[in-house]
Structure 1
Amino acid sequence: MAAPRFQALPGFRDFTPRECAVRNYLFETWRSVARTYGFVEYESPILEDTSLYLKKSGGELSSQLFRFEDQGGRDVCLRPEVTASLARIAAQHQRDFPKPLKWFEIGQCFRYEKPQKGRGREFHQFNVDILGEAGPAADAELIALSIDTMRAFGFEEGDFVVRVSDRQAWIDFASKRDIDEERIPEFLQIIDKLEREKPDVTGQKLSTFGLSTEEVTEFIKNPENASSAFEAISEDLEARGMAPFLELDLSIVRGLAYYTGIVFEVFDSKKSMRAVAGGGRYDTLVGTISDGGCEMPATGFAMGDYVIRNLIEETTDALMQMEVWLQRSGAACDVFLVIADETKRSDALAILSELREAGIACDLPFGQAKLGKQLKRAEQSGARFALVVGSELPELQLKVLASRTEESCHVLGLADWLTDRLQQPDGPLLA
């Protein structure tokens, strides 16, 4: 059979009902953890002025923009990340809120890069930021939140690690070796790709700075090169019982140019894929975007939906937890009405309306069908119960689809009874 004429563009996704349910699982988990930590939700536009991202992001980002001129002649792009947008919003509205700002957003981003495992051209990101706090306690709070987010998805100690580094340590390293300030971003890009590039390629690039691979490797291996900020973060997380998840790794620098201090990335312990999440401190970005009109220290991190989903699907306990959630929360309805006697359809419609008004998700067949076909449709819908409406009215039969058991109920007080029943585990209702 010939392929459909129109398909989703490369790197873009269709979200079928199951895909939407998986996405909702990720979103609800993200929101739950963020709110537990006292963060509030905000939202920024998907379309932004291109210069917002060219001003300070640096690295490869400028070549990955979905960029075009709009009908008003403005140079605009689909946002490739959210931090710059947040900095713009914070600079404009920061006087309206007490500091520090603890904000999060779940939003879609776009980058024109090669689609591969864990990476597409459109993706959703969970962005969590603290603005207006310069001390390492804010960095520790975000690292702790990243750890609890992973645990909320069903990952345990040994499944993942947070690798923490200090970008300022590398800037000091470059300054002591007389690397021109203008070339420091180029140097940091080399460090950022240490694990991904071949050693001979890295060595050749470092030689242009008068450096050797051995010199850089020795710097990474020496824990004394970490700043006092890392020590404070380590003590903070130890007090929270999270020290086993923390690892000092000075090879982490992050690719975006606006990072200024502590940076970190979350990796699965097997390193089977790219970083699950990453972020760090960006104390000068708000000031840069506001042209000095608002100086505000800031730190944050982001987690994308591609990588975390891949890791969930490759981890048995996390996958099982997601499947249980999908079974409970991803179903089209809780109750599917089965019409055993077609002359009772009007009664069934009245029951349907009553249950929906009570907030119970329910459905029924549009046309006449055999009982077995209706019960099969009930199972396909993901409903927990099939409510059989037949000639016995006002008596009804409730079929528990998971256990294939039955219970009797009555039209009178049905909505309240079902509301209580939905709170109980599947199985016969105890007298």
Structure 2
Amino acid sequence: MPHTPRNTQPFAGTRDRFGPELRQRDYAQSVLAHYAHTRGYDRLEVPALERKSSFSRQIVGASPWPEWNPKGVFELDVPDYGPGHTRTYENTPAVLIPEGTVSVARWLASVMPAQTLPLKVFYDLPCWRNEAVDTLSPGKAREFRQFGVEILGVASPAADAEIITFIDGALRALGVPEHSVRVRISDVALFRTLAEQSGFEEQTTVAVKECLDALAECRAGKDPDRARELTTRLNTLLAGRPAETVRRWQAMAHHDSGDIDPDLLATLGEVAPGHLEQLASTTQALRQAGLNTVIDLGVVRSHEYYTGLAFEVDVVLEDTSFVEIAGGGRYDHLIGHFASHGPGTVPASGFAFGMERLLAVMDACGAFTGAPTHQRSHHFGPSTADRLLVPTSTGDPVRDYLRAYTATRGRTDGQRVDLWVGEAADTNSLHRYAQARHIPETTSC
């Protein structure tokens, strides 16, 4: 076959990379990995191939990620050949992984109950989504990388606070100015309950969720011109519903105060009693710990597997903004769908950076000006941390965790410090955790 220029080019939405760009990515990945190790996290690597059944409706729901379309994954069959490739024992439908969380959940189900929970893991993975070629852009490609962190096996809201402080600390380690990070949080349980009370069928639930999440992006500054069209679409979806139902959904969709005010509480407080109050308390505690946190009830994350606290993270600089460079939340049912002999529900919380977006942020912040010369230590033994710090319990796990976090932030003298996010009173679990991770010292704070 004659050689043509087309044969020298990669597929649309993928890129050859060489030189300075890769050196920048290598640096960012090394900083993130080092930071994760200093917080007591261990690295997990999963294969690029995942069974197609892992992304079935029974496991991830109707919308595993924003703008989900079943054609949006790269599918292939994986044949198990016999000797000489003359016989096929099995032919399994598979996909190139489109994101990391599902594979992490599948992995944990495969190793339970051998692992001592909670587990703190991080990963750095190539991902693939078969995006429509006419929608491709520098920020939306078919091949991209994710750096993610998951806390597996703990239901305490302190784990959610830990994930958010991890993002803030990691961004500062990468050179992002401290006060430029904005965290927008919500509670998916409120959305789920209201959708059920409204009698929405699955298709309507997914469509309303995507409208709300897109409107939240508009408020954050991403393509705000879409807001009118999205509002019209939402109104069409709500047409014919009872007035009280419409009023509640409009309050969710257009919430822009950043707080839980009395009118909002009067409108939505009865939908999921206690959730708005807990969201307000968590936000106040995060603010007191120095994190720029706002409440936006439209942040419902299109991923169907989220069950509780959800958040998106932006970087707002003087001359530009980067919306949703990270997103995540709590997903308490996903792992249980994989575990045939484990518990039906394994609580978990996590997030992921889009590495390409993160590199653009670092470049705008001047992180690559000059040659970074950070000295980094490496640890090859079984210990995941030098010290396990246990917050003193006052009955409010989020505030207890954040008090301990702020007391140690930047004052660890190079030690790897793992902050306990389980119940402080559960000393048996605490000791099992420290023993399983070979952490030599446990102290209270």
Using structure 1 for the length normalisation, give the TM-score.
Answer: 0.68
SS at match of 2:79: coil
Are positions 1:277 and 2:323 aligned together?
no
1:65 to 2:64 alignment: no
Deviations 1:302-327 (A, max 9, x none): 001110111112223x343xx422x7
Q: Which has the higher contact order (CA 8 A, sep 6+)?
A: 2
1:150 shift after superposition: 0.8
- For 1:173 and 1:289, locate their aligned partners in 2 and report how far apart those are by CA, in whole Å: 27
> Sequence identity of aligned pairs in percent?
29
CA distance in 1, matches of 2:227, 2:286: 35
Could you tell me how far apart the structure 1 residues matched to 2:235 and 2:70 are? Answer: 23
Verify the 8 A CA contact 1:118 1:274 in the aligned structure 2.
Answer: no
Change (3 A) 1:188 1:4: closer
1:189 is the counterpart of 2:183: no
Q: Distance in 2 between matches of 1:36 and 1:328?
A: 15
- Against the structure 1 CA distance between its residues 319 and 19, is the aligned structure 2 distance closer, same or farther, given a 3 Å change threshold? closer
1:372 aligned residue? none
Which residue identity does 1:87 align to in structure 2?
A: A
Give the structure 2 partner of residue 233 of structure 1.
282
Give distance in 1, aligned partners of 2:200 and 2:341.
27
Tell me how far apart the structure 2 counterparts of residues 297 and 214 of structure 1 sit (CA, whole Å).
31
Match of 2:371 in 1: 324
What's the secondary structure of 1:105's corresponding residue?
Answer: strand
Q: Distance in 2 between matches of 1:63 and 1:193?
A: 21
1:42 CA drift (Å):
1.1
TM-aligned CA deviation for residue 184 of structure 1: 2.4
2:25 to 14, 23, 26: 23
Q: Which residue of 2 aligns with 1:335?
A: none
* Residue deviations 1:142-180 (CA, integer Å, cap 9, x gap): 000000111111112332211111111222333343434
Quick one: distance in 2 between partners of 1:251 and 1:39? 31
- The equivalences for 1:168-183 within 5 A come to 168-180=189-201, 183=204
Go from structure 1 to structure 2 and tell me whether the alpha carbon gap of 1:200 and 1:106 turns closer, same or farther (over 3 Å shift): closer
In the alignment, what sits opposite 2:173?
152
Cα distance in 2 for partners of 1:299, 1:142 equals 7
Match of 1:348 in 2: none
CA contact (8 A) 2:76 2:95 kept: yes
1:195-344 mapped onto 2 (5 Å cutoff): 195=218, 197-209=226-238, 210=241, 211=246, 214-217=250-253, 219=255, 221=257, 223=260, 224=265, 227-234=276-283, 236-238=285-287, 241-243=289-291, 245-269=292-316, 272-290=321-339, 293-294=342-343, 295-316=345-366, 318-320=367-369, 323-325=370-372
Distance verdict in 2 for CA 1:119–1:178, change over 3 Å: same
Cα deviation, residue 9, structure 1 = 1.8
2:100 alignment partner in structure 1: 82
Offset, 1:301: 0.2
Counterpart CA distance in 1 for 2:104 and 2:347 is 13
Structure 1: distance between partners of 2:227 and 2:358: 27
**What is the identity, as a one-letter code, of the residue corresponding to 2:304?**
A
Given that 2:105 and 2:334 are in contact with CA atoms closer than 8 Å, whether structure 1 keeps it comes out as yes
Name the SS of the counterpart of 1:275 in structure 2: strand
The answer to whether the 8 Å contact 2:211/2:233 transfers is no
Structure 1 residues 182 and 106: alpha-carbon distance in aligned structure 2, compared to 1, 3 A threshold = same
What's the Cα RMSD here? 2.6
For the Cα contact (< 8 Å) 1:263–1:280, is it kept in 2?
yes
Deviation per CA, 1:218-252: give whole Å up to 9, x if none: 5564614663443453355356x333x22212121
Change (3 A) 1:148 1:215: closer
Structure 2 CA distance for aligned equivalents of residues 200 and 76 of structure 1: 37
Question: 2: CA distance between counterparts of 1:162 and 1:82?
Answer: 21
Cα drift, residue 16 of structure 1: 1.1
Structure 2 partner of 1:164? 185
Q: Cα deviation per residue 1:249-271 (whole Å; 9 max; x = unaligned)? A: 21211121101110111112257
Q: Answer whether contact 1:144 1:242 (CA < 8 A) is retained.
A: no
- Which residue of structure 1 aligns with residue 119 of structure 2? 101
Amino acid at match of 2:25: R
C-alpha deviations, 1:360-394, integer Å up to 9, x for none? xxxxxxxxxxxxxxxxxxxxxxxxxxxxxxxxxxx
User: What is the aligned length?
Assistant: 322
Question: Residue 201 of structure 1: CA displacement?
Answer: 4.1
Secondary structure of 1:80's aligned partner: coil
Q: Give the deviation of 1:279 after TM superposition.
A: 0.5
SS in 2 for 1:302: strand
Q: What letter matches 1:242 in structure 2?
A: G
In 1, the alpha carbon distance for the partners of 2:69 and 2:145 equals 17
1:190-237 per-residue CA deviation (whole Å, 9 max, x = no partner) reads 212222534234323433233378444455646146634434533553
Amino acid at match of 2:231: T
- CA distance in structure 2 between the partners assigned to 1:87 and 1:71 by the alignment: 24
Please give the residue correspondences for 1:367-378 in structure 2 after superposition, counting only pairs within 5 Å: none
Q: What residue ranges of structure 1 are gaps of 5+ in the alignment?
A: 330-431
Structure 2 unaligned segments of length 5 or more: list them: 81-90, 269-274, 376-445
**Moved beyond 6 Å, runs of 4+:** none
- The amino acid of 1:67's aligned partner reads E
Quote the Cα distance in structure 2 between the aligned partners of 1:319 and 1:112: 31
Instruction: Kindly state the Cα deviation for residue 272 of structure 1 after the two structures are TM-superposed.
Output: 3.5
